[in-house]
Amino acid sequence: MRVVTFRHAGKVRVGVADETHIVDLSARGLPYASVRAAIAAGHLVTLERHARGVTPDFRLDEVEFLPPVPDPEKILCVGLNYATHVGEMDRALPREPSLFSRLHNTLLGHGAALIRPRASTQFDFEGELAVVIGRTCRAVTPEPALEMVAGYCCFLDGSVRDYQKHSVTAGKNFPATAPVGPWLVPAEEIGDPQKLRLTTRLNGVVVQDDTTDHMIFDVAAIIAYVSTVTWLEPGDIIATGTPAGVGHGRKPPLWMKAGDRVEVEISGIGTLANHVVDE
């Protein structure tokens, strides 16, 4: 099942998608105003029932995709979580997850314009697996941590490297630099999140290709760490880090520019695709 948030005719809707079409659940009396509300009610996996046997309403190319959860309370990201990426960045292996946060206006949906800020030309790509939290929790141990997950998405952590050198918060928080999507796949359909392949392509060329079992801190460990620091709430997004191959680690560096198309594909989830424009 693929749960989507989208806009059509100026209205934000919730739907269920397949490879080509969307069933508009909002037009069929869905009792939840948003995906986040369905997650909070514990009914994410029941949304599929509303779409069974129903004629689809839209082709995928007829709607504007929004982030699957457009209104998370928190967007938290883990840096330096693949040893190969740590090496290419010339950093020491972390002993604990390296955590930073993103602002809500950095998020955008599948197909939307990824904005390269006018303040920099060092705009980098980082394909990642994103976790969407399903239950309010605090101080979770690793053993039951995956039970706190509602589902998974693809994530692109667009990084402004020259600003990141003096401030991670600045380099990660320019508007419209973090696509997420294209939809939310429930955790039950993914199973073990450490058995996924993550591939990033820039203009059709593979620039990152790795598997999530190479994470330094797996999804359960990340949830345990973050929930030690703060409460996690339904709909919160945690990006789990990127593997090697980023533009900053190449010689010469490979930066995103206007006209580029960047894709993040994760097995079992799908492909998040966006184009780059100048601010």
- Per domain, the residue ranges of the chain are 2-66, 75-278
Residue 241 has φ and ψ, to the nearest 5°, of 105, 165
Buried b (16+ CB within 10 A) or exposed e, 182-192: bbbbbbeebee
Q: 275 or 89: whose pLDDT is higher? A: 275
Mean pLDDT of the residues in the chain: 96
Cα 93 to Cα 9, 41, 84, 98, 217, distances in angstroms: 49, 39, 10, 10, 11
Cα 107 to Cα 85, 110, 113, 180, 223, distances in angstroms: 23, 10, 11, 7, 21
Beta-bridge mates of residue 198 = 210, 266
Amino acid 43: pLDDT: 94
Q: Which residues contact 189 (CB under 8 A, 6 or more apart)?
A: 1, 268
Can you give the C-alpha Rg of the chain in angstroms? 18
pLDDT at 146 exceeding the cut of 90: yes
Residue with tokens 């789990």: 240
Q: 114: part of which helix (H) or strand (E)? A: strand 113-116
Amino acid 84: pLDDT: 87
Section 241-255 average pLDDT: 96
Q: Checking phi first, is residue 170 left (phi over 0); if not, alpha (psi -120 to 50) or beta? A: alpha
pLDDT one-digit tens code per residue, 167-215: 999 999 999 999 999 999 999 999 999 999 999 999 999 999 999 999 9
Q: 12: part of which helix (H) or strand (E)? A: strand 11-17
Beta-bridge mates of residue 75 = 237
Amino acid 106: pLDDT: 98
Q: Using an 8 Å Cβ cutoff, are 153 and 132 in contact? A: yes
pLDDT at 273 exceeding the cut of 90: yes
pLDDT one-digit tens code per residue, 51-85: 888 999 999 999 999 999 999 999 999 999 999 88
Helical H segments across the chain, by residue range:
35-40, 47-51, 83-88, 161-166, 168-171, 187-190, 219-229
Section 24-37 average pLDDT: 94
Q: Using an 8 Å Cβ cutoff, are 177 and 126 in contact? A: no
Q: How confident is the model at residue 219 (pLDDT cuts 50, 70, 90)?
A: very high
Residue 148 has φ and ψ, to the nearest 5°, of -85, -5
Q: Quick one: tokens of 63? A: 């709607």
pLDDT at 270 exceeding the cut of 90: yes
High-pLDDT (> 70) share of the chain, %: 100
Question: What letter does residue 146 receive in the DSSP assignment?
Answer: G
Section 260-270 average pLDDT: 98
CATH class label, 75-278: alpha beta
Calpha distance 66→272 (Å, rounded): 12
Amino acid 164: pLDDT: 95
Section 43-54 average pLDDT: 90
Q: How confident is the model at residue 161 (pLDDT cuts 50, 70, 90)?
A: very high
pLDDT one-digit tens code per residue, 81-140: 999 888 888 878 889 999 999 999 999 999 999 999 999 999 999 999 999 999 999 999
Q: 93 or 146: whose pLDDT is higher? A: 146
Residue among 20, 17, 18, 16 nearest 30 (CA): 16
Q: Using an 8 Å Cβ cutoff, are 193 and 155 in contact? A: no
